[in-house]
Structure 1
């Protein structure tokens, strides 16, 4: 793969001179662990279908990583080749990421929710050489899906099945010990380390390129603000195929030489049991995870006395949830805001969390600058809402093969596409989105792509998808549809249509409203704000009805 991270060169000298780019890779921290604490637990992996977790010391993790790296190299995977893995939270996920770094390959984790529609695009766009899937997960047959895709993946050299018992099985392909020792170059600090797809508004995902220097500059700053250390035990329950999981729940513990406790399927009661058993101290996920744990505690599950810090990102956190978590669990919720393109941009420090997390998204991390500008690009004063721009150490290297979409000025300012204001203390508050996204449980849903899928249905004349508030997930999606004369369309038919298209289940809107026509300006421009208001009113009426029934 010929990568083109054009946003790196202008920053190299100043970022290295400032000490923000430390020229370290994850291999640096693994080597330190093997020297300082080889027998310390690195990973404790809990699985839904197993009673006891699998425990790996740093020594054992390194042994497995070396074996996987050698076998990837034996498959012909080399420097700058892309390895795609669609795995739940597991030791294999982390080991694959480390093995890619060891041979200079590019890790490309993709979410388990994706299906053929998304994966065919991603694997072909990134020219993936190896694709690793679980045999089954949560009742879905990933092996069958991947095999069906193979004829349409010309760049792919090998499919590997975790839990598979055939010639493509993970143990047979990547864990055999007969491969030759490694000889090629490993990962350099300015090589592309991570390729991660992010939902956009253009109808197709964009491939974000990060190097060790861009990503780790953010992780070091985050460690400082959140006051994390080698003694911490991190709960990895949020999906590791997101930057939240990959960076803050997988890489940070390795940087600290601390311990990650993995949970493959979210269950709040089990998470609390694990937190008590493993002395978990910290985690990061969307607010839905916190709401679920609060409910579990209120229903009788004891909290963990060591589990005191949690960072919420992906959507604003209701102040009532912050107070509820503190009262029920002694859990201090810090707010954060960020993007796949730059990691966590702002974080509320734990000492101010109870005060500020409900009204702000935190202050910028070291190495990051913010500004809020008006329509003419002029910087706005404190408290005024405008377009949010950022620049700094953790900004990505650019979008793969699409430098024209980088949205970055000559002096390094990146247009986030979000609306925000900054208060008198320098805390950021996101209060609108110019991007047309619905954020459901911290997951960005690509509205244009969903609408395009709906437009393909023969009954639909016009459609629009908007978000509406939801107490648990932050937002859900509502599809407003006008129909062609003499046709019929229902929620059940919409679900069947999306299932037939083989797209992620989460892409299907939870609500359907049939309307005569979509609201528009005299010039014909769709007025989505009116649809959002209608959807919000529907949600409020439904909530009132549930409260009456309760």
Structure 2
């Protein structure tokens, strides 16, 4: 039994000052996904909603397991406002946990499975997580052992639960125990905090993005309406359900729109072809490499995938020709680019009915007010580049750190995205670059500063700068420019980063040794020059 007398963390006031107009104008849903799921379980109990290699679950089955899990967690001492984390693959248990948290007022903390000890300590410690669900071993990684190592430094983390494992602290045992306990169902305010989702920032320290039931409900409603999704439509979800797009369109969409989610544990284009046919999949939201590989597999098989209606992609630079080629590969599917982030999910929704705009722009602005501003914060005319600021009813409540919130949201309630772009008179948005010092590798945000801080602890590194470089499959890779003060091999530096506890994806794939780093007059490193440098080197090596 946990400590029932513990005081849960105090979350920011909801609605936040910048969101009160959305509440006043009724732009937020007045029900949580738990409220909706209960209605589906009662009225459409035999409808399928979750499908993975373990089998399929109906609305009634998911609701029953969620109720049992909520009761079991309450019996372990977890109360409204407590944070429950999960670091799971795309398994259906994640959807059940999401519902269990929603119906009992727990705050969910999804953590991408690629993260290791260093990131886990920061994230779990920052939000004060009291429990975490992990696989025991997945892809040869012992997540249970890692959680226990991290727990030793985090006194608030009182519970570690496994999924698809064994013992009294496993998901299966919790469901069995909870089925015999009183209901933990509570009346939850849709405007209360439901999720803290960590995203890498330019400071090298992850930031906790806070969403309410209402903000997440809004983006799911808008997505379903715009893409024409309704009862019985199947959505393929290869994107991690620990990302905001995978969470919204995979774990939560069935209980808002009555859809079915087909979960993929890992991406394989051939397997995706088979799943799309077997379940008559209507659409998917995934990173650009998945679109390229699915289109290639469809062409090779002479298979136009007639059930597929849309493929929304983003998370990295998307060349216009990628969209154009993919459209030709499918019978009826409209591939298009979208733009958003954890803080402002889907500012644009793409152009499914306009092939030219779908390929040339990053989508149509929907449900957001957008400003394009210069360095002084003044609006620029349509067609001119500037920083993208956005506000809307689906934007985050704020960050877990109040100072971070104050820095990111201006006095008019606009979120400073740090992305550069242009808007046109048709309401299209085209991303042209980033002010943020981030690398987006296959849809994963990687902080360059975080890697630099590790490299600078190596005795052979006098100075360094980490930048994005072109990657043929993932969009961007990780390149480190190093000023050395002693002999060091690339393998030595890569091993040094790996030993720091950072995720494998953050290990630079390429090291370039230089005598000095280009800087501005004020001493700031010219990373734009370094990005140009590495891109040119790669082109020359390819014979371009």
Secondary structure of the equivalent of 2:121? Answer: helix
State whether residues 309 and 332 of structure 1, in contact with CA within 8 Å, keep that contact through their aligned partners in structure 2: yes
Q: Tell me, yes or no, if structure 1 residue 442 matches structure 2 residue 443.
A: yes
Q: Kindly state the Cα deviation for residue 147 of structure 1 after the two structures are TM-superposed.
A: 2.0
Q: Per the alignment, do residues 522 and 294 of structure 1 end up closer, same or farther by CA in structure 2, a change over 3 Å counting?
A: same
Q: Per the alignment, do residues 148 and 369 of structure 1 end up closer, same or farther by CA in structure 2, a change over 3 Å counting?
A: same
Match of 2:324 in 1: 323
Q: Kindly state the Cα deviation for residue 498 of structure 1 after the two structures are TM-superposed.
A: 2.1
Q: Tell me, yes or no, if structure 1 residue 246 matches structure 2 residue 239.
A: no
Q: Kindly state the Cα deviation for residue 206 of structure 1 after the two structures are TM-superposed.
A: 0.4
Match of 1:414 in 2: 415
Secondary structure of the equivalent of 1:482? Answer: strand
Structure 2 Cα separation of the partners of residues 301 and 245 of structure 1: 29
Match of 2:3 in 1: none
**For residues 332-365 of structure 1, what are the alpha-carbon distances to aligned partners after superposition, in whole Å with 9 as ceiling and x for unaligned?**
112110110121111223112x221222111222
What does 1:46-61 align with in structure 2 at a 5 Å threshold?
A: 46=53, 53-61=54-62
Structure 2 Cα separation of the partners of residues 121 and 75 of structure 1: 24
Q: Per the alignment, do residues 513 and 25 of structure 1 end up closer, same or farther by CA in structure 2, a change over 3 Å counting?
A: same
Secondary structure of the equivalent of 1:541? Answer: helix
State whether residues 371 and 388 of structure 2, in contact with CA within 8 Å, keep that contact through their aligned partners in structure 1: yes
**For residues 218-263 of structure 1, what are the alpha-carbon distances to aligned partners after superposition, in whole Å with 9 as ceiling and x for unaligned?**
2222222222222310001100000010012221222111111111
Match of 2:387 in 1: 387
Match of 1:348 in 2: 350
Q: Kindly state the Cα deviation for residue 186 of structure 1 after the two structures are TM-superposed.
A: 4.2
Match of 1:35 in 2: 42
Deviation larger for 111-120 or 138-147 = 138-147
TM-score normalized by the length of structure 1: 0.93
Structure 2 Cα separation of the partners of residues 451 and 402 of structure 1: 26
Secondary structure of the equivalent of 1:305? Answer: coil
What does 1:331-410 align with in structure 2 at a 5 Å threshold?
A: 331-352=333-354, 354-366=355-367, 368-406=368-406, 407-410=408-411
What does 1:108-147 align with in structure 2 at a 5 Å threshold?
A: 108-147=109-148
Q: Tell me, yes or no, if structure 1 residue 153 matches structure 2 residue 154.
A: yes
What does 1:286-305 align with in structure 2 at a 5 Å threshold?
A: 286-300=287-301, 302-305=303-306
Secondary structure of the equivalent of 1:364? Answer: coil
Deviation larger for 74-83 or 133-142 = 133-142
State whether residues 27 and 101 of structure 1, in contact with CA within 8 Å, keep that contact through their aligned partners in structure 2: yes
Q: Kindly state the Cα deviation for residue 526 of structure 1 after the two structures are TM-superposed.
A: 1.4
C-alpha root-mean-square deviation of aligned residues, in Å? Answer: 1.8
Match of 1:314 in 2: 315
Q: Kindly state the Cα deviation for residue 184 of structure 1 after the two structures are TM-superposed.
A: 6.3
Q: Kindly state the Cα deviation for residue 307 of structure 1 after the two structures are TM-superposed.
A: 1.5
Q: Tell me, yes or no, if structure 1 residue 457 matches structure 2 residue 461.
A: no
Q: Kindly state the Cα deviation for residue 12 of structure 1 after the two structures are TM-superposed.
A: 5.5
Q: Kindly state the Cα deviation for residue 272 of structure 1 after the two structures are TM-superposed.
A: 1.1
Q: Kindly state the Cα deviation for residue 303 of structure 1 after the two structures are TM-superposed.
A: 4.5
Match of 2:5 in 1: none
TM-score normalized by the length of structure 2: 0.94
Stretches of structure 2 that go unaligned for 5 or more consecutive residues are: 1-7
Structure 2 Cα separation of the partners of residues 42 and 307 of structure 1: 18
State whether residues 316 and 358 of structure 1, in contact with CA within 8 Å, keep that contact through their aligned partners in structure 2: no
Secondary structure of the equivalent of 1:345? Answer: coil
Structure 2 Cα separation of the partners of residues 300 and 543 of structure 1: 29
Q: Kindly state the Cα deviation for residue 7 of structure 1 after the two structures are TM-superposed.
A: 6.9
Q: Kindly state the Cα deviation for residue 158 of structure 1 after the two structures are TM-superposed.
A: 0.9
Match of 1:25 in 2: 32
Structure 2 Cα separation of the partners of residues 33 and 122 of structure 1: 34
Q: Tell me, yes or no, if structure 1 residue 430 matches structure 2 residue 437.
A: no
Secondary structure of the equivalent of 1:215? Answer: helix
**For residues 83-133 of structure 1, what are the alpha-carbon distances to aligned partners after superposition, in whole Å with 9 as ceiling and x for unaligned?**
000000011111111110111000111000000000011111111111111
Secondary structure of the equivalent of 1:216? Answer: helix
State whether residues 89 and 263 of structure 1, in contact with CA within 8 Å, keep that contact through their aligned partners in structure 2: yes
User: Between Structure 1 and Structure 2, how many residues are aligned?
Assistant: 535
State whether residues 269 and 301 of structure 1, in contact with CA within 8 Å, keep that contact through their aligned partners in structure 2: no
Structure 1 Cα separation of the partners of residues 191 and 521 of structure 2: 51
Structure 2 Cα separation of the partners of residues 166 and 149 of structure 1: 20
State whether residues 7 and 396 of structure 1, in contact with CA within 8 Å, keep that contact through their aligned partners in structure 2: no
Q: Tell me, yes or no, if structure 1 residue 503 matches structure 2 residue 502.
A: yes
Q: Kindly state the Cα deviation for residue 27 of structure 1 after the two structures are TM-superposed.
A: 1.4
State whether residues 218 and 365 of structure 1, in contact with CA within 8 Å, keep that contact through their aligned partners in structure 2: no
Deviation larger for 143-152 or 420-429 = 143-152
State whether residues 336 and 347 of structure 1, in contact with CA within 8 Å, keep that contact through their aligned partners in structure 2: yes
Match of 2:4 in 1: none
Q: Per the alignment, do residues 224 and 246 of structure 1 end up closer, same or farther by CA in structure 2, a change over 3 Å counting?
A: same
Structure 2 Cα separation of the partners of residues 456 and 123 of structure 1: 25
State whether residues 360 and 427 of structure 1, in contact with CA within 8 Å, keep that contact through their aligned partners in structure 2: yes
State whether residues 69 and 178 of structure 2, in contact with CA within 8 Å, keep that contact through their aligned partners in structure 1: no
Structure 2 Cα separation of the partners of residues 119 and 525 of structure 1: 30
